[in-house]
């Protein structure tokens, strides 16, 4: 008897043919692209009679927490395309885990003209909810529809959408430690419509997953502690998952045939950090983490990290690369927040982000940290933010100039080993800045922001043309797309130029910043005997 049905929308269960970065297809404007594009690029996770054999990590955590108070026969994680077969008279809760249900996330807002167009994620979320409601009304069932996950705040912000979708309860916050209480209250009818979870689970209250996670994702820490004012996760208390529990989850995924370990954190270089004032990495702990994961697979990747952490201890990056055997055909990818190149903005809104360095050093940190990454076969995918509160055109132009500087300096030093991308995102009011306005690019863009956007995409085009053959290696699905990608990035760049001209913005040549690659020798090793390596 299944009492609780867990699922998510199908943008979070697509493998996208294992194409790097194609996970962001969900952020695309659904009505601006041919529908065949979505059908062609979508490839769904396998299921066992409708039960997901792999599932998004956050959903696996909730499943594990619920199994402490419900039997394994009462809880199912259903494939979104087959969810109807699990809903009947015994169903008490259908709960959805969502990342971006209404398309209000930073990436989506950038690609949908400030939310004016429908995103693929919002279309698929609403399709799923409407199907669930059709079953509920068609069979006259009394279960409750609950939505949680990192994107649940969007349904509280847009209550009219939530009411139209007939969503009974929204859960906002980390919930593993209280999910049993919440679901029991939902079942007995005493739960609030919006459930704000106060506080966070302690490390011992965060359960270990019991079934495989999509892409072999495992969480190594939660929260960050750097306290960037715009970032919700960074405001949470940092908690470090013990090594033996991380290993248990990696082993579970490997035994299920997933030959990958994605180490998830807000900043991998803060794992078990002891210096909470200057955020100098605990290099031994970070290296031990990668050594443990490498016992199971060569394919070990972090999700997120800071460039300042990498530059603070370059020898840590070198050692990790040695452990996972990184080389020209086996790069380590990492997502990194650049946000802006301007020291004043970074110091005002993110005054710990550059530590152990100073705000004044931020552009230098970005250039030299990228050098450390690239020299050791790490590929940083940077994000910047358009429309940060209090920014100005000088700050935006400085970001554009830094992109030019990084491209020039890194290629001079490293040649074909120089790789990075920069993706501008729209400012979304979160964290301490919840009261600010959403950034709507079509209405708010300034000349400086246009140059920031143009030079970021110009470099993206250059990177796709230069790096795509390496990415394509071993994935035959991608081969037909190489000519299309070459054409596509050129078209995008021309469209940005035309779009700018309509607003009176002309692309002008910018001069690089006056900074150089000069990684200091004494910062290079995490142990004294590694200093001689460079």
* Helix residue ranges per DSSP H, 415-520: 441-444, 447-472, 481-502
pLDDT tens for residues 266-281?
A: 999 999 999 988 999 9
pLDDT tens for residues 109-127?
A: 888 887 889 999 999 999 9
Instruction: Judge if 236 and 329 occupy the same domain.
Output: yes
Distance CA 339, CA 440 (A): 17
Instruction: Judge if 278 and 161 occupy the same domain.
Output: no
pLDDT tens for residues 477-490?
A: 655 656 656 666 77
In terms of C-beta density within 10 A (0-12 exposed, 13-18 middle, 19 or more buried), how is residue 163 classed? exposed
Distance CA 311, CA 357 (A): 9
Q: Considering the domain boundaries, does residue 527 fall inside one?
A: no
Instruction: Judge if 134 and 222 occupy the same domain.
Output: no
- CATH code: domain of residue 227: 3.80.30.20
> 3-class SS at 51?
strand
Q: Considering the domain boundaries, does residue 532 fall inside one?
A: no
Instruction: Judge if 222 and 179 occupy the same domain.
Output: no
Count structural domains, the chain: 2
Note whether 275 and 238 are within 8 A (CB). Answer: no
Sign of CA dihedral 335, 339, 343, 347: negative
pLDDT for res 5:
98
pLDDT for res 492:
75
Return the structure tokens found at 377.
């076969």
Instruction: Judge if 10 and 136 occupy the same domain.
Output: yes
In terms of C-beta density within 10 A (0-12 exposed, 13-18 middle, 19 or more buried), how is residue 506 classed? exposed
Using the predicted structure, report yes or no on whether residue 476 has a pLDDT greater than 70. no
Q: Which residues pair with 44 in a beta bridge?
A: 14
Instruction: Judge if 190 and 244 occupy the same domain.
Output: no
Q: Which domain holds residue 20?
A: 4-196
pLDDT for res 223:
85
Using the predicted structure, report yes or no on whether residue 48 has a pLDDT greater than 70. yes
Q: Considering the domain boundaries, does residue 521 fall inside one?
A: no
Distance CA 214, CA 202 (A): 24
Q: Considering the domain boundaries, does residue 164 fall inside one?
A: yes
Q: Are strands 47-48 and 51-52 parallel, antiparallel or unpaired?
A: antiparallel
Instruction: Judge if 338 and 268 occupy the same domain.
Output: yes
Residue 439: how many other CB atoms lie within 10 Å: 23
Distance CA 310, CA 516 (A): 17
Q: Considering the domain boundaries, does residue 525 fall inside one?
A: no
Instruction: Judge if 255 and 136 occupy the same domain.
Output: no
Instruction: Judge if 141 and 224 occupy the same domain.
Output: no
Instruction: Judge if 173 and 275 occupy the same domain.
Output: no
Angstrom distances, CA of residue 56 to CA of 97, 98, 99, 216, 306 = 9, 10, 10, 9, 24
Residue 347: how many other CB atoms lie within 10 Å: 16
Instruction: Judge if 142 and 250 occupy the same domain.
Output: no
Using the predicted structure, report yes or no on whether residue 209 has a pLDDT greater than 50. yes
Q: What is the DSSP letter of 29?
A: B
pLDDT band at 525 (very low <50, low <70, confident <90, very high): low
* Helix residue ranges per DSSP H, 200-282: 243-255
Note whether 361 and 353 are within 8 A (CB). Answer: no
Distance CA 493, CA 199 (A): 45
Sign of CA dihedral 272, 276, 279, 281: negative
Q: Considering the domain boundaries, does residue 123 fall inside one?
A: yes
pLDDT band at 528 (very low <50, low <70, confident <90, very high): very low
Q: Which residues pair with 78 in a beta bridge?
A: 51
Crossing angle for the helix pair 447-472 and 481-502, to the nearest 10 degrees: 180
Distance CA 52, CA 262 (A): 19
Please state which of the ranges 103-117, 217-231, 324-338 shows the lowest mean pLDDT: 217-231
Distance CA 148, CA 103 (A): 15
In terms of C-beta density within 10 A (0-12 exposed, 13-18 middle, 19 or more buried), how is residue 164 classed? exposed
Q: Angle at CA 124, nearest 5°, toward 122 and 125?
A: 65
Return the structure tokens found at 498.
């035309």
Q: What is the DSSP letter of 510?
A: -
pLDDT tens for residues 309-322?
A: 999 999 999 999 99
Q: Which residues pair with 170 in a beta bridge?
A: 147, 194
> Can you tell me the mean pLDDT for 158-180?
97
Using the predicted structure, report yes or no on whether residue 184 has a pLDDT greater than 80. yes
Note whether 387 and 439 are within 8 A (CB). Answer: yes
Question: In angstroms, how far is CA 152 from the centroid of its own chain?
Answer: 16
Average pLDDT, the chain: 90
Note whether 163 and 102 are within 8 A (CB). Answer: no
Q: Considering the domain boundaries, does residue 184 fall inside one?
A: yes
Return the structure tokens found at 49.
């009679």
Q: Considering the domain boundaries, does residue 522 fall inside one?
A: no
pLDDT for res 373:
97
For every residue of 353-398, DSSP letters joined together read TTTTS-GGGHHHHHHHHHHHHHHTTEEEEEEEEET-TT--HHHHHH
- List CB contacts of 116: < 8 A, sequence separation 6 or more: 440, 442
Please state which of the ranges 165-174, 201-210, 501-510 shows the lowest mean pLDDT: 501-510
pLDDT for res 111:
84
pLDDT for res 470:
62
Residue 336: how many other CB atoms lie within 10 Å: 24
Instruction: Judge if 378 and 277 occupy the same domain.
Output: yes
What residue ranges in 21-155 does DSSP mark as E strands? 47-48, 51-52, 75-77, 93-97, 144-148
pLDDT for res 426:
87
pLDDT tens for residues 61-86?
A: 999 999 999 999 999 999 999 999 99
Which of 168, 196, 224 lies at the terminal end of a domain, its last residue?
A: 196
Distance CA 462, CA 493 (A): 11
In the sheet where 300-302 sits, what is the strand order? 217-219, 261-264, 300-302
Q: Which residues pair with 77 in a beta bridge?
A: 6
Side-chain half-sphere CA neighbours of 55 within 13 A: 28
Note whether 152 and 167 are within 8 A (CB). Answer: no
């Amino acid at each position: 008897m299944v009492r609780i049905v867990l699922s998510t929308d199908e943008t979070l269960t697509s493998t996208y043919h294992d194409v790097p970065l194609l996970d962001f297809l969900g952020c695309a404007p659904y009505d601006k692209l041919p529908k065949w594009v979505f059908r062609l690029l979508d490839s769904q996770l396998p299921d066992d009679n409708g039960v997901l054999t792999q599932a998004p990590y956050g959903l696996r955590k909730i499943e594990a927490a619920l199994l402490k108070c419900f039997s394994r026969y009462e809880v199912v994680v259903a494939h979104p395309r087959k969810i109807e077969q699990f809903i009947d008279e015994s169903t008490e809760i259908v709960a959805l885990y969502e990342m971006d249900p209404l398309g209000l996330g930073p990436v989506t807002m950038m690609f949908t003209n400030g939310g004016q167009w429908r995103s693929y994620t919002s279309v698929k979320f609403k399709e799923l909810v409407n199907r669930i409601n059709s079953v509920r009304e068609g069979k006259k069932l009394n279960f409750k529809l609950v939505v949680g996950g990192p994107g649940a705040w969007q349904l509280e912000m847009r209550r009219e959408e939530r009411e139209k979708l007939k969503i009974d309860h929204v859960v906002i916050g980390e919930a593993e430690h209280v999910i049993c209480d919440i679901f029991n209250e939902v079942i007995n009818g005493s739960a609030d419509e919006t459930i704000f979870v106060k506080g966070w689970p302690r490390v011992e209250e965060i359960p270990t997953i019991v079934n495989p996670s999509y892409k072999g994702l495992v969480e190594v820490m939660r929260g960050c502690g750097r306290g960037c004012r715009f970032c919700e996760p960074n405001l949470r208390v940092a908690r470090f998952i013990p090594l033996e529990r991380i290993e248990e989850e990696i082993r579970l995924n490997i035994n299920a045939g997933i030959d990958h370990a994605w180490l998830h954190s807000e900043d991998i270089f803060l794992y078990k950090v002891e210096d909470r004032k200057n955020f100098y990495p605990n290099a031994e702990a970070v290296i031990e983490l990668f050594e443990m994961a490498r016992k199971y697979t060569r394919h070990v990747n972090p999700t997120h990290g800071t460039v300042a952490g990498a530059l603070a201890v370059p020898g840590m990056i070198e050692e990790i690369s040695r452990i996972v055997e990184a080389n020209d055909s086996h790069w380590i990818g990492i997502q990194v927040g650049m946000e802006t190149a301007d020291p004043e903005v970074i110091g005002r809104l993110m005054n710990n982000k550059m530590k152990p360095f100073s705000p004044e050093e931020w552009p230098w940190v970005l250039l030299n940290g990228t050098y450390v990454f690239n020299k050791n076969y790490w590929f940083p995918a940077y994000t910047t933010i358009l429309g940060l509160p209090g920014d100005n055109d000088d700050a935006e132009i400085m970001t554009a100039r830094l992109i030019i500087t990084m491209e020039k300096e890194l290629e001079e030093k490293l040649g074909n080993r120089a790789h990075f991308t920069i993706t501008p995102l729209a400012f979304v009011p979160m964290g301490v800045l919840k009261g600010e306005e959403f950034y709507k690019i079509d209405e708010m863009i300034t000349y400086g922001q246009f140059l920031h956007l143009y030079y970021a995409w110009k470099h993206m085009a250059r990177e796709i043309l230069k790096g795509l053959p390496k990415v394509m290696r071993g994935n035959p699905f991608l081969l037909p797309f190489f000519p299309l990608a070459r054409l596509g990035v050129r078209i995008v760049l021309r469209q940005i130029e035309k779009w700018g001209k309509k607003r009176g913005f002309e692309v002008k040549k910018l001069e690089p910043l006056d900074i150089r690659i000069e990684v200091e020798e004494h910062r290079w090793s995490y142990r004294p005997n590694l200093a001689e390596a460079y």
